[in-house]
Chains A and B, each alone.
Chain A
Amino acid sequence: MKKKILEQKNGGQKSPFAVSLKSICKSFGPVRANDEICLNVSSGTIHGIIGENGAGKSTLMSILYGFYQPDSGDIQVDGKAAIFKQPSDAIRLGIGMVHQHFMLVPNFTALENIILGSEGKMGLKNGLQNAKLKLEELKSTYGLEVDLDNVTEDLPVGIQQRIEILKALYRGARVLILDEPTGVLTPQETDQLFEILLALKSEGVTILLITHKLHEIMAITDEVSVMRQGKMVANTLTKKTSPEWLAEQMVGRSVLVNTKYESGKVGSVALSADGIGVTDKRGFDSLKNATFDLRSGEILGIAGIAGNGQSELLSVLSGITPPSRGNFRINDKIFDSKNHCSPGLMRELGLSHVPEDRHAEGLVLPFQAFESVILGYEKNPSFGTGFFTKPEQIQAHCARLQDSFDVRPQNPTLISSQFSGGNQQKLVLSREISSAPKILLVGQPTRGVDIGAIEFIHKTLIKMRDSGCAILLVSVELEEILSLSDRILVMNSGEIMGIVSKANTTKAMLGKMMAGIPLEKAIEEKN
């Protein structure tokens, strides 16, 4: 089908390329985010753009939809030169953006969100009626099922994304940019999204898909471009390539994709949770009746879509919030709503915690690296005496950690915010591991981290497990869970759907559980 469209377009007067970028450069201060980027996107195709975090993908797309202006270079839309001073210029020429983090007003209905900014003139009612008619047509053409009168915040993430897509189409987008669209979706929702994208393609919409997930590129794109360190390093037809080759292009060297690690030698129970529940300030039960054992020498993976109680679980076990119900036990010490625990006490008991949000929690961004690297451990006698800290000793300690965890640049006095995502994560990990914990809670260890660092972090976690540490791993990346865990616990709406050993499960089954089907039912459905 793609060929047909291409031939049609070639036959006509129109340019074969919906969008073409020529020698685009963009610098931020001394950093070259985009360096002489050339890109041709054929009309009516799905074009993937892949690259590590910080490779310049988002900057390039921001230039394409008019958010940034390039320092030099040309943009052509349908063969005609275009200059975008602001996003409205781009949308006028039919280029629409679907952001990674949705730009929706939570308490508006789907319809209100879609027409926001193009409501028409005075008097909203007429505009709403007209919009509804137009949207019904769009919905049926592209198979975008959305109930327009529902309030946005009550809708699942997958539907919210459809609203974003409809928003772009409603404004007449013929080129759709999707920035990391699957990051927040269940496997099932991802499949549905891909169906929608294929429907869009068959109607002649051109799609630019930005992602760092290789299998998505292989599954759906026609062509793929690889970015590395601000440069475009490869352009090719997807069917002519392989995931391994793409990965190599992304990082400039071969990496292991989805290594399956050996299982660990499981020891005694290190932490035992019994019916933990959390009721938040609004009276909502965000964590319900969590009961499980964590043993030394194993990695227990917590799978689930973000916001299904994983954060609350980490927060309780690390001592930050007391449980509302139930209790948990470490070394015969029982903690419940009355018997308070604190993060400091947890550290004394040998429990370390790599938090989910390294920017807000794991590091103090304006601190120098050596200050961030003692967060929570500043009273350790090797960092000072009495009430006082000894900056020289802490700097030396930080330099040692940076050396053994390969943190670059190796500079203890650099401000924490000036390290890249992967190096920041290594700083946090080095701090939490250097206390030789018996229990390690890890939240989203590789979110926004480049492939090279992912491999290092994974190997470090496996090494910790093999040395007898009990690891609780929370991640929204199913591949990561499957690759590292010995057992997998799936959560949905604050409840545990089931605990399975890695050997006895499949991605499809985990997907069902993530979508809210308990283990027993998931097995029944399978049979």
Chain B
Amino acid sequence: MHADSTAGTVTATTERKAAALAAFKDLARDPGVPKPDPILVVDKVVRRFGGLTAVEVEHVEIQRGSITALIGPNGAGKTTFFNQLTGFDTADAGEWTFNGRPMNGVPAHKVARAGMVRTFQLTKALSRLTVMENMRLGAQQQKGESFFRALLPNLWRGQEDEITERAEDLLTRFKLAAKRDDFAGALSGGQRKLLEMARALMVQPELVMLDEPMAGVNPALTQSLLGHVKDLREQGMTVLFVEHDMDMVRDISDWVIVMAQGAVIAEGPPDTIMSDPRVIDAYLGAHHDAPLSETELQEQLHEAEAELEAEIEEETQK
């Protein structure tokens, strides 16, 4: 019986992954390629800081039920793009829809309520609240969060118990159950990342947006965090995450979107994306491995000789 149910989950697991991969199978590798079932569709989003164009995304779609990685060199505008989508910063132009619902200009808290929840690059644990209080805060539509109903505990106590139960399940899953009554500020960096992810799940989101979930996490915890991210897809959620660590991207993502200088420059499956010439150019510069021509070689040789001579001259003059 027990073995059966385990086998059942394993097949389900592979099914989800297979479904996600099948959706991406025949897609072109062009930036902005249309997906079969997009949860998030972004059109012409622009954000400028003075003269600098931080984000200028023409078109991009995120496939439902998949794990999509957003990568790119430093300063590519990944976090700024995240901030636009989640309402933490206002875009100068552009529109985007989540589940077909327009989301541009929607304030951050309404974005979260719509089912699109983010975490932060610098973890935001609410330090002087206990781990359990952190978790409870994530639950939506709490009766006790209205001023007048808060004064009458009988109105919200039942709901609070349900929330606590759900929070306890999540804490057990994230191995934080032993810490439930500790202040969040007393947790280690990695535990805070876990708490932030668990807290985001309390919102019961459809799309989870993780901004560098692995930054500053010790290697021992990385595997456990990876497992949790994969688990989100198994539970039917869509994941979009920003990451620098290519090993992690290759390990867990179904599809990769590459940004450089504010624009989406390429898309593709994780195992081949890093060999895409556009991506190599963006990371290493366009001419990093072009062979040197004969004249260039000569020039370099002359330069080196001239430098040497100057050095010798300096030495003898002393």
Is chain B found bound to chain A in the same assembly? no
Q: Footprint of A on B, CB under 8 Å?
A: none
